[in-house]
Amino acid sequence: MSDKQIVIDGITKSFGTLPVVGGVSFDVSDGEFVAIVGPSGCGKSTLLNMIAGFERPDRGTIRIDGVERNGPSRNGIMISQQGSVFPWLTVQENLMFGLTGSSHREQVELADRYIAMVGLSGFESAYAHELSGGMLKRVELARAFVVKPEILYMDEPFSALDALMSLKMQTELRRILDEERHTVLLITHDVEEAIYLADRILVLSPRPTIIQTSFQIDLPHPRKLSNPKAQNLREAILKELGL
């Protein structure tokens, strides 16, 4: 079996007479972290929604593990900027919500393990209104990872947080990924976030979007954005974005 877990071949998408995605092709290897950046309104979220199975492309194909994508699948989880924590459930109950095939006790133990992993031990019985924005995002991360997704789709997940909390969440995500193997597709407007987290960065063109260029990131984790290589990469990406 190929190590290319996601294969996207020539996908396009229009809404009415408005062309949004103009023909995109790329592969993502098993366990690879790919970040996608591009101008505002270029079609980043539409592209991710097609790959995750929430939108159908007008043309082209998407294959996940060799199987053509025709809708959402249990092997992938989406984390968006809107948030998806159920306010009527406790932290522990939110994590247990998607768990099947094990005893209640095993579900509790698994939920508590991931609650501890994101640094929320002691908040198992808390409700959403009792948590800060950063804590809610930690619950979302834990809830995504507890169901063991092969692929994590992330659409500007930390954009609503302040700069310091966003950096903390990026560090948290990277720490979890160092412990567990997942394939990640991240949409972000933050070039430094992409450099800090990803193995490869795709830069999209204005709408109708195509892949303008890509950058391989050959820097070990944990990364320092003050590293001259990281700074040169940042300048090159911003130049591609016209900045």
What are the residue ranges spanned by the domains of the chain?
1-75+151-158+183-243
Between residues 79 and 26, the one the model is more confident about? 26
Between residues 52 and 243, the one the model is more confident about? 52
Write down the pTM of the prediction: 0.90
The label of the residue with tokens 């998407």 reads 62
Q: What percent of the chain is modeled with pLDDT above 90?
A: 65
Would you say residue 1 has pLDDT above 60?
A: no
What's the mean pLDDT when you consider all of the chain? 91
| pLDDT number for residue 172 | 86
Would you say residue 216 has pLDDT above 70?
A: yes
Confidence band (pLDDT; 50, 70, 90) for 100?
confident
Would you say residue 169 has pLDDT above 90?
A: no
Q: What is the DSSP string of the chain?
A: --SEEEEEEEEEEEETTEEEEEEEEEEEETT-EEEEE--TTSSHHHHHHHHHTSS--SEEEEEETTEE--S--TTEEEEESS----TTS-HHHHHHTT--SS-HHHHHHHHHHHHHHTT-TT-TT--GGGS-HHHHHHHHHHHHHHT--SEEEEESTTTTS-HHHHHHHHHHHHHHHHHS--EEEEE-S-HHHHHHH-SEEEEEPSSSB-EEEEEE---PSSP-TTSHHHHHHHHHHHHHTT-
The residue-averaged pLDDT of 218-227 equals 91
Min mean pLDDT across 32-36, 54-58, 110-114 is at 110-114
**Overall fold of domain 1-75+151-158+183-243:** Rossmann fold (3.40.50)
